[in-house]
Chain A
Amino acid sequence: MRKRLVSMAAGLAFTGLSQVVLANGWNMPVGVTDVSREIHSLHMIIFWICVVIGVVVFGAMFYSLFRYRRSQGAKATQFHEHTTVEIIWTIIPLLILVGMAVPATATLKNMYDASEADLDVMVTGQQWRWRYEYMGEEVSFLSNLATPRAQIDGSDAKDDTYLLEVDEPLVLPTGRKVRLLLTSDDVIHSWWVPDLAVKQDAVPGFVNENWVRINEPGIYRGQCAELCGRNHGFMPVVVKAVEPEQFDTWLAQRKEAAAQEAMGVDREWSREELMERGEQVYGTICASCHQPDGSGNPPAFPALAGNQTLMDDRERHIDTVVNGVSGSAMPAFRSTLNPVEVAAVITYERNAWGNETGDVIQPSAIAEQLSD
């Protein structure tokens, strides 16, 4: 009777504990794609196999430790070989492994089939942001960390989505197969969203592919998974999955907006307009390295405030932003920023934080430079 109670209590404790451990936030997410479900169930199968082996092995061990204590007068029985037993415990694990390998192989084959995608998205890693390009759609944008500095240094309270929020998420349609092409502009990054079970390295000079078909609309958050330098921990991935119709509307709007901004290139912009747009661009793109107050982080990231070399040489300033600096962390923004943004951010940098050059750079001048 007492034995039964004890075993029942132990059983209850065990199920209770496994409930807690397997609850959300403690375990691998099931995710929202067929592949992520498959991976999750694979993970759980192996986990339980390990638990069973563990119970048997540790059970035998603790039994021996308890039963054959010298303090209880145990005498050693000398035996040191048993060929049959040794062969059995080589064969059985082998069979268990084969049992694990079969479903794993099937899942892997499925994961590698990126053919016949409905949409291709190019994902480019940059220190320290992602660039998304909807191939053949003329829509591309950068996706930066949106968590304010004040939350990171602790002067503001942290949001629920602390460090997992971006200024512009990657928008994808549900139910369609999306092929992701991944590469990098500088070091190796790794694009990871746990709910989509996609983790793929972005290697400079090479292209990797992966694919995803999302079953449920929602916002899915992840992070860069490969150490990529200083702000590796501040390079989130956010995917917003919407119904296909909504996606088509969104894509059309993005194309429209891009065309609108392109038209803005031709008109004369006022200093105030440029400063306002420039501050916005600076905040999302430049501030992570050069700091919001332009003080930089030398030697890797030079200060912009009071940077005499740049202030004296307007052409060089433009060239640096447009073409980047070889062998340094400064990327080329020629294909990621439009002429309006380039002109605005340079105007801002040349007139903020005590830089009083009074220069106003017109988008049309930049556009001319970019196209010739």
Chain B
Amino acid sequence: MASHLPPKPTAQYEETAGGGLAAGAPHAPRGMMRWLLTTNHKEIGTLYLIFSLTMFFIGGIFAMVIRAELFQPGLQLVQPEFFNQMTTMHGLIMVFGAVMPAFVGLANWMVPLQIGAPDMALPRLNNFSFWLLPVAFLMLLSTLVMPGGAPDFGWTFYAPLSTTYAPPSTTFFIFSLHLAGISSILGAINIIATILNLRAPGMRMMDMPLFVWTWLITAFLLIAVMPVLAGVITMMLLDINFGTSFFNAAGGGDPVLFQHLFWFFGHPEVYIMILPAFGIVSVIIPTFARKRLFGYASMVYATASIAILSFLVWAHHMFVVGLPLVAELFFMYSTMLIAVPTGVKVFNWITTLFRGSISFEPPMLFALAFVVLFTIGGFSGLMLAISPADFQYHDTYFVVAHFHYVLVPGAVFAIMAGVYYWLPKWTGHYPHLRLSQWHFWLSVIGVNLTFFPMHFAGLAGMPRRIPDYALQFADFNMVTSLGAFLFGASQLLFVAVVILCIRGGEKAPARAWEGGEDLEWSVPSPAPLHTFETPPDFKPQQH
């Protein structure tokens, strides 16, 4: 198969006048100031990824506290109020601090490289949106040492537990979420502006790699729902500090309204965390099957339909809140519909493998595990969509199992697949093969030991967010905790692989993976600071 690679890199990558839209300063500051002030998409991408990894470990430590307490029945290590703070902070940090910034980091690095752009469209804004994050999360983490403790009302912060009955630190929680939200919004604007305007000449929308497509759709979702989140937390702020009654029944408000607003944001948010994962997997599988992605167009349409449907399904999180029958039926049907485009994606991935020439490098291992385990999460999602059955599943560990299957071996595995896939491009070295394989297998075993027994615990009747449980749940919880410790510990291997890869290892050529067809493989490895200052000559594949 002839590749459509643009001409080999030439002298165009050497120091040239800081042209294009990249506002590269000619006399770049050194040391700390360089990272603080950088407007380069690759450096900002790196910052996002480091931040995300840090948050992944902090959120992970909170998860370890939770699992240690739940290792056996009884209260051993922490008090219930601290346990609630841990579940809340674990959720908030993983969602807003680890998964979302990781995808933004990958987008920063790879979107310009995949579309042949010299940088993001708005480099200075890019710097600002990154530096909002450390501020936001330092503020959020500092609530742990405030009087009354950190937020303890779950990452879904249902009113009135999060308003009338909330700890004093809630105001800080609201501000930090505002900052994180602004950061996401600015990041999304930047990505949209980059993708719509900075594509290499000749690259049409339907020529873009799927990672770019899924991120474009994700960015639109962010623009649509982050302001709603901002609105909801502003209402909370007003209820707490200024005596309004948006969610307070005493003043004529309605606590259920909070849930409607939250999930109007929250369900699209769930897809914000999974659509870019679809994109990553859709570029990795063809590379290692040495075969073009099956059904490119239907992948794009499926992603778009999932995004649109995500606005019509929010109340499936509220089946037991007392919705009228008509609403239950509507949200049940619309939720079930999501299975169709999701199924199309899975079928396309598998058909891409069919009659390919498949090899199992670390990125491929993670991508394949993603397909299997995400699909399992999809099955439990389908079960949860059946409203009458949800009366039994709702708010149990079955739900915890479901969303961890789509978020951990789903989103997180896809991020790791992406990191392994692009590490040679970033560092110029291949990741250590043996260590990567160990990391993969331990992670897969750990993840399943952790989350599979949760299905049984939930079906048997264990509610979520409890610090202590009845004796019949003891065995499941012990296995889950052991799995969690294994999974947590094996992530140290990941750090080792990344550090080793930065420091050295087998040299990678420009096209680090034999089947890599996208534009990023046309620039040298490691990618120089400035790439595509002259737009590449893009020749689309025949669709």
| A230 at the binding interface (Cβ < 8 Å) | yes
| A329 at the binding interface (Cβ < 8 Å) | yes
CB atoms of B80 and A203 under 8 A apart: no
Q: List 25 A-B contacts (CB under 8 A).
A: A27-B459, A27-B460, A43-B386, A70-B290, A74-B358, A82-B294, A104-B387, A108-B328, A160-B471, A161-B470, A162-B470, A187-B158, A187-B164, A199-B320, A199-B392, A203-B321, A203-B322, A223-B463, A225-B396, A227-B465, A233-B80, A299-B147, A299-B148, A300-B81, A327-B164
A187 with B160, Cβ < 8 A, contacts A65-B368, A225-B396 known:
yes
CB distance from B335 to the nearest CB of A (A): 10
CB atoms of B356 and A39 under 8 A apart: no
Size category of the binding interface on chain B:
35 or more
CB atoms of B372 and A61 under 8 A apart: yes
| A241 at the binding interface (Cβ < 8 Å) | no
Q: Which of B432-465 contact A (CB under 8 A)?
A: 456, 459-461, 463-465
Cβ-neighbour of A104 out of B254, B351, B386, B467 (below 8 A): B386
CB atoms of A154 and B466 under 8 A apart: no
Q: B-facing mask of A44-58, CB < 8 A → 1, else 0? A: 001100100110011
| A18 at the binding interface (Cβ < 8 Å) | no
CB atoms of B358 and A108 under 8 A apart: no
CB atoms of A152 and B460 under 8 A apart: no
Count of A-B residue pairs with CB < 8 Å: 272
A181 to B308, CA, bound (A): 37
A39 to B389, CA, bound (A): 6
CB distance from A49 to the nearest CB of B (A): 8
A163 to B468, CA, bound (A): 8
* Closest chain A residue to B465, Cβ basis: A227
| B227 at the binding interface (Cβ < 8 Å) | no
- Report, nearest first, the 4 A-B pairs whose CB atoms are least far apart: A205-B249, A233-B466, A208-B322, A50-B379
User: A28 — which chain B residues lie within 8 A by C-beta?
Assistant: 392, 459-460
Q: Which of B274-332 contact A (CB under 8 A)?
A: 289-298, 320-322, 325, 328-329, 332
A225 with B463, Cβ < 8 A, contacts A104-B332, A104-B387, A190-B320 known:
yes
- Give the segment of B103-111, B191-199, B340-348, B400-408 that binds chain A: B340-348
- Give the segment of A92-100, A258-266, A363-371 that binds chain B: A92-100
Q: A-facing mask of B358-381, CB < 8 A → 1, else 0? A: 110000000010011001100100
| B68 at the binding interface (Cβ < 8 Å) | no
CB distance from A153 to the nearest CB of B (A): 6
| B161 at the binding interface (Cβ < 8 Å) | yes
CB atoms of A68 and B355 under 8 A apart: yes
* Closest chain B residue to A51, Cβ basis: B379
User: A158 — which chain B residues lie within 8 A by C-beta?
Assistant: 73-74, 471
Cβ-neighbour of B254 out of A100, A160, A162, A206 (below 8 A): A206
User: B158 — which chain A residues lie within 8 A by C-beta?
Assistant: 187-188, 226-227
A222 with B1, Cβ < 8 A, contacts A86-B344, A154-B74, A187-B161 known:
no
A329 with B386, Cβ < 8 A, contacts A152-B74, A200-B322, A227-B84 known:
no
User: B347 — which chain A residues lie within 8 A by C-beta?
Assistant: 57, 89
Q: A-facing mask of B161-204, CB < 8 A → 1, else 0? A: 10011000000000000000000000000000000000000000
CB atoms of B456 and A68 under 8 A apart: no
User: A162 — which chain B residues lie within 8 A by C-beta?
Assistant: 73, 470-471
A25 to B457, CA, bound (A): 8
A201 to B391, CA, bound (A): 10
CB distance from B543 to the nearest CB of A (A): 8
CB distance from B172 to the nearest CB of A (A): 17
Cβ-neighbour of B160 out of A39, A70, A204, A233 (below 8 A): A204
CB atoms of B371 and A61 under 8 A apart: yes
User: A231 — which chain B residues lie within 8 A by C-beta?
Assistant: 80
| B534 at the binding interface (Cβ < 8 Å) | no
A201 with B321, Cβ < 8 A, contacts A26-B456, A43-B389, A75-B357 known:
yes
User: B355 — which chain A residues lie within 8 A by C-beta?
Assistant: 64, 68, 76-77, 79
CB atoms of A163 and B469 under 8 A apart: yes
CB distance from A329 to the nearest CB of B (A): 7
| A249 at the binding interface (Cβ < 8 Å) | no
| B493 at the binding interface (Cβ < 8 Å) | no
Q: B-facing mask of A93-133, CB < 8 A → 1, else 0? A: 11001001100110111011000000000000001000000
A223 to B462, CA, bound (A): 8
CB atoms of A101 and B333 under 8 A apart: yes
Cβ-neighbour of B372 out of A25, A29, A58, A64 (below 8 A): A58
A60 to B354, CA, bound (A): 8
| A349 at the binding interface (Cβ < 8 Å) | no
CB atoms of A164 and B470 under 8 A apart: yes
CB atoms of A76 and B321 under 8 A apart: no
| A192 at the binding interface (Cβ < 8 Å) | yes
* Closest chain B residue to A236, Cβ basis: B470
CB atoms of B340 and A93 under 8 A apart: yes
A297 to B79, CA, bound (A): 11
Cβ-neighbour of A65 out of B76, B148, B294, B358 (below 8 A): B358
CB atoms of B386 and A100 under 8 A apart: yes
| A357 at the binding interface (Cβ < 8 Å) | no
Cβ-neighbour of A200 out of B320, B340, B471 (below 8 A): B320
A247 to B267, CA, bound (A): 45
CB distance from A196 to the nearest CB of B (A): 10
Q: A-facing mask of B262-274, CB < 8 A → 1, else 0? A: 0000000000000
User: B332 — which chain A residues lie within 8 A by C-beta?
Assistant: 101, 104-105, 108
| B339 at the binding interface (Cβ < 8 Å) | yes
CB atoms of A228 and B161 under 8 A apart: yes
| A234 at the binding interface (Cβ < 8 Å) | yes
| A307 at the binding interface (Cβ < 8 Å) | no
User: B138 — which chain A residues lie within 8 A by C-beta?
Assistant: none
* Closest chain A residue to B350, Cβ basis: A61
CB atoms of B165 and A68 under 8 A apart: no
| B43 at the binding interface (Cβ < 8 Å) | no
CB atoms of B1 and A76 under 8 A apart: yes
A162 to B84, CA, bound (A): 21
Q: Which of A186-235 contact B (CB under 8 A)?
A: 186-188, 190, 192, 194, 197-201, 203-206, 208, 221-234
User: A187 — which chain B residues lie within 8 A by C-beta?
Assistant: 158, 160-161, 164-165
User: B61 — which chain A residues lie within 8 A by C-beta?
Assistant: none
A344 to B355, CA, bound (A): 81
